[in-house]
């Protein structure tokens, strides 16, 4: 069932993102608008476009979200493999996608400070190093992300 849904979601996301889908949508709106005088701009005439667009939007949200979730997981797995295989990479970065936005922002800020220090040749240690933050967010017993203490 999951494979079937994933196939439908991928294909739908591809088709909805295709330029022809946009052109067909514009054409449908033009046809609908053109039929307005035929139906005297009735409530039923308006209900057709409102219902159609609402249903399509509702379904598209789930299909697109499914495709994005799979794409994100695949990209994350590929990045984790790169981190694992590169000798100088910090393996502590594997799994940080499970942290909160605030925790990731702290790690990102520490990385940016580290890059600035290296580029300026500044030897001052930042308040929290990347290594300290990565160590704080991994549970050594489980080798799984934990939480960075928020001050």
Specify the DSSP element, H or E, that contains 150: none
147 pLDDT exceeds 70?
no
Same domain, 12 and 73: yes
Tokens in use for 64?
Answer: 């697109």
59 lies in a domain?
A: yes
Q: Token digits for 87?
A: 């000798």
Q: Write the pLDDT tens digit of every residue in 22-60.
A: 999 999 999 999 999 999 999 999 999 999 999 999 998
**Tokens standing for 61?**
């949200």
Number of structural domains found in the chain: 2
What pLDDT, on the 0 to 100 scale, is given for residue 151?
Answer: 42
**Percent of residues, the chain, with pLDDT higher than 90:** 29
pLDDT digits (tens, 9 = 90+) for 128-142: 788 888 888 765 555
Taking a C-beta distance cutoff of 8 angstroms, is the pair 45, 93 a contact?
no
Burial of 111 (0-12, 13-18, 19+ CB in 10 A): middle
| Residue 150 domain-assigned (yes or no) | no
Q: What percent of the chain has pLDDT over 70?
A: 87
Cα distances (angstroms) measured from residue 47 to each of 24, 29, 34, 50, 92: 19, 13, 15, 5, 54
Task: Among 36, 63, 85, identify where a domain stops.
Answer: 85
- Bridge partners, residue 133, by sequence: none
Q: What residue numbers bound the domain in which 115 lies? A: 91-145
pLDDT of amino acid 27: 96
Q: Are 97 and 33 in contact (CB under 8 A)?
A: no
């Amino acid at each position: 069932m999951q494979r079937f849904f994933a196939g439908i979601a991928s294909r739908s996301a591809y088709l909805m993102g295709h330029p022809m889908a946009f052109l067909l949508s514009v054409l449908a709106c033009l046809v609908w608008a053109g039929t307005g005088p035929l139906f005297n701009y009735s409530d039923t005439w308006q209900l057709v476009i409102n219902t159609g667009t609402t249903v399509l939007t509702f379904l598209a949200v789930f299909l697109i979200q499914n495709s994005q979730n799979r794409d994100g997981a695949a990209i994350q797995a590929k990045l984790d493999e790169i981190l694992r295989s590169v000798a100088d990479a910090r393996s502590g970065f594997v799994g940080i996608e499970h942290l909160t936005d605030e925790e990731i922002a702290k790690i990102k800020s520490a990385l940016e400070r580290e890059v600035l220090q290296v580029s300026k040749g500044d030897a001052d240690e930042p308040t929290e190093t990347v290594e300290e933050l990565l160590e704080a967010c991994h549970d050594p017993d489980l080798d799984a992300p934990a939480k960075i203490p928020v001050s």
